[in-house]
Amino acid sequence: MEFEDLLPVIAGKLGGEGLIDELCKGFQVLMDKEKGVITLESLRKNSATMGLQDFKEEELASMMREGDLDGDGALSQMEFCVLMFRLSPQLMQDSWFWLQQALHHNNNASL
C-alpha cells in the first residue's frame, strides 16, 4: 500500500485530531532527537523506518524544501503535518473541513 493512500483511511477511522496524532508519531520517528525538528540528515537516516527507503536524496531534499514554510532549513512538527496533508491530494479534497479544524486546534496548542 502506498504511503499517501494510507492517510484518507486513517482519517476516516480516527477523525482529524486522531490523524494529527498519527502524523505526529511519524514526526517523532523522523526528527533529529536532539534538535526536535526534522533535518535533511535526520530524514535520510530515519526514513527507512517509515518504509520510505526508496526515496532518492533529491526527493528527500525537495520534500524538505517544500515543507519548510519558515525557511529555517528544518521541518517543525507543524510544517511536517502540513506537508503530509499536501502530499495527499485525495485527503485534501475529501476532508478539507476537518483538516482546517484540526490544524487550527494544533496551531493553538503548539504556538
Neighbours of 92 (CB within 10 A): 14
Q: How far is the CB of 111 from Ca ion (least distance, A)?
A: 14
- Of 62, 70, 100, 107, which one interacts with Ca ion (CB under 5 A)? 70
Q: How far is CA 47 from CA 17, 57, 101, in A?
A: 24, 11, 29
* Residue 17 sits in the site that holds Ca ion (CB under 5 A): no
**Binder to Ca ion among 72, 86, 89, 105 (CB under 5 A)?**
72
Q: Which is nearer to Ca ion, 95 or 106 (CB)?
A: 106
- How many residues of this chain bind Ca ion (CB under 5 A)? 3
**How many other C-beta atoms are found inside a 10 Å radius of the C-beta of residue 34?**
7
- Cβ burial 37-49 (10 Å sphere, 16+ → b, else e): bbbbebbbebbee
With respect to Ca ion, which residue has the nearer C-beta, 22 or 68? 68
Q: Contact positions toward Ca ion, by CB under 5 A?
A: 68, 70, 72
